[in-house]
Amino acid sequence: MSKHDAEIRKKVETEIQEHKQIVEADTYRQNYHHMPPVGLMNDPNGFIQWKGTYHLFYQWMPFETAHGAKYWGHYTSEDLVNWKHEAVALTPSEWYDKDGVYSGSAIVHDDQLHLFYTGNIEGEREPEAEYQCLAVSQDGIHFEKKGVLIETPKGYTGHFRDPKVWKNGDQWYMMIGAQTEDKQGKAVLFRSEDLQNWEHIGPVAGSKEGKLGEFGYMWECPDLFELDGADVLMVCPQGLEADGMDYANTYQSGYFVGKWDETAETFQHGDFRELDRGFEFYAPQTTRDEKGRRLLVGWMGVPDQYEQAHPTVENGWVHCLTIPRELKWNGERIIQNPVPELAHMRGPVLMHSSITIENDQKAVRGVQGRSIELNLDFESLEDMFAIELFQYASLSYKDHVVTLSRPNLEDRSKTEFRRVKLDEGLKNLRLFIDQSSLEIFINGGEEVFTSRIYPQAEEEHILFTSLGSTTFSVEKWDLKGYEYS
Ligand code: FRU
């Protein structure tokens, strides 16, 4: 570690200590979500399980609740439930990453943890250069930077980042999110035999590639992986126009399913599908854990959307990550569900079966709280059903359409909506509610809404409304959070 790096680390530690009291006293602080100890958190990075331990890094600006020269913060866990906040893993300390250690991924090779990341150099308004870099670690805690591996090839702008590395047989591959000089978003592939020397193969998918028409001016955070026999490219295209219920956030996050041909090094794929229908979800990253599961964590935020309007900003922190989810492919779409380990957070179950509400609004005894899991199974639903949460957000269902509404974060007198149309009727809802967030898994994880919520601090009430008659059962668990050590 250079002297400069050591000084930066000390500054980060001081910043955490100085803000600790005010940050931790914030009533919107969560119980079981990853948050920055201070400052701004964005993308999950370097998600991996190594020697049993899960490592989850994240984009972190410790000195402001705004974007800027990012660091890699670091959490570890043995069980995906209890997490430890480790010392900052990477700082912007070198000429090639001085304006930000941007997003990237992790692999294990030669018994060392390898982090691939983007070193960002800012220009006046856009990045001037983005380098793909490597850092390695013997112990998973201390990292040694190995410098620049890849410089941006000709034909691309300064937006060239977010390396995701994986192995196919004897070959290593790296996928990078990119923008061409004519402002088309692409996922660009490189190949290597030794993780040092990388050969530029070219775009394997992107706006105006293959059968895809105009599809965004920049693609961020690409992630290609196999899931239950399907090949999936997850990516965050920027610049898609809102289209009915689709593409409602500033930037999108979703996936293409197709065939990765490792001989031809091509990816033929079908249509893009959004991963999440809520207000805050972006830059997800997956890993295959030691049990062989495909796990996903996303950022509960969207760039440029309400960046400063979150009320936690005044207490010195902003944004968090989603709970860890397990992915499955059902032949038609990706199914997302919370990892089963989260059941260890549960207290005793409270259960009501066959509740009928008819043209009425009701509370259900004991079904309330701000750190809870709810599971609703519907027996019959005639017309419209809604759940009102904490006099703040509402989730409603009618004519196959699920709508989540909440006050606009910038102007609370306005209500805003996110919607999705289900293929079939509403059968099941699973809600993970934390102090200031909401993750709703619909019909066994076919659709998900992820959002921040900012109700009054003490508000715990949940009301159920039905037009016509609805019969459902509900289970509720209080969730104890993890210790923030
Ligand atoms: C996505 C992103 C990445 C970049 C990082 C910088 O949210 O813009 O493309 O690496 O954030 O923090």
Q: What is the pLDDT of residue 483?
A: 65
The 10s digit of each residue's pLDDT in 221-272 is 999 999 999 999 999 999 999 999 999 999 999 999 999 999 999 999 999 9
Q: How far is the CA of 102 from the centre of ligand 1 (A)?
A: 6
Contact (CB, 8 A) for 44 and 58: yes
**Residue 401: CA count within 13 A, CB half-sphere:** 11
Q: What is the pLDDT of residue 307?
A: 86
Per DSSP, the three-state class of 226 is strand
Q: How far is the CA of 176 from the centre of ligand 1 (A)?
A: 12
CB contact burial 183-202 (16+ within 10 A = b; e otherwise)? ebbbbbbbebeebeebeeee
Query: Which ligand 1 atom minimizes the distance to the CA of 299?
Result: 7
Q: What is the pLDDT of residue 449?
A: 98
Considering only CA atoms, which of 470, 464, 302, 459 is closest in space to residue 395?
Answer: 464
CATH code given to domain 3-338: 2.115.10.20
* Catalytic machinery residues: 43
**What residue ranges do the domains of the chain occupy?**
3-338, 348-478
| Alpha-carbon span 348 to 409, nearest angstrom | 35
The 10s digit of each residue's pLDDT in 267-317 is 999 999 999 999 999 999 999 999 999 999 999 999 988 989 999 999 999
Query: Which ligand 1 atom minimizes the distance to the CA of 67?
Result: 12
Q: What is the pLDDT of residue 4?
A: 85
Average confidence (pLDDT) over 12-22: 97
Query: Which ligand 1 atom minimizes the distance to the CA of 104?
Result: 10
The 8-class DSSP code of residue 437 comes to E
Q: What is the pLDDT of residue 484?
A: 58
| Alpha-carbon span 339 to 275, nearest angstrom | 17
CB 118 near ligand 1, within 6 Å: yes
Q: What is the pLDDT of residue 398?
A: 98
Give residue 208's pLDDT band: very low, low, confident or very high (50, 70, 90).
very high
**Amino acid residing at 479:** L
The 10s digit of each residue's pLDDT in 135-182 is 999 999 999 999 999 999 999 999 999 999 999 999 999 999 999 999
Q: How far is the CA of 120 from the centre of ligand 1 (A)?
A: 10
pTM of the model: 0.97
The 10s digit of each residue's pLDDT in 84-100 is 999 999 999 999 999 99
| Alpha-carbon span 437 to 454, nearest angstrom | 8
CB 97 near ligand 1, within 6 Å: no
| Alpha-carbon span 432 to 117, nearest angstrom | 31
Q: What is the pLDDT of residue 2?
A: 80
Count the Cβ atoms, other than its own, within 10 Å of residue 223.
Answer: 24
**Please, what is the average pLDDT of the chain?**
97
> Which distant-in-sequence residues (6+ apart) come within 8 Å of 131 by Cβ?
96, 97, 118, 119, 121, 148, 149, 150, 151, 152
Residue 460 has pLDDT above 80, yes or no: yes
* Ordered strands of the 334-338 beta sheet: 282-288, 294-299, 325-329, 334-338
Residue 485 has pLDDT above 60, yes or no: no
The fold for domain 348-478 equals Jelly Rolls (2.60.120)
The 8-class DSSP code of residue 345 comes to G
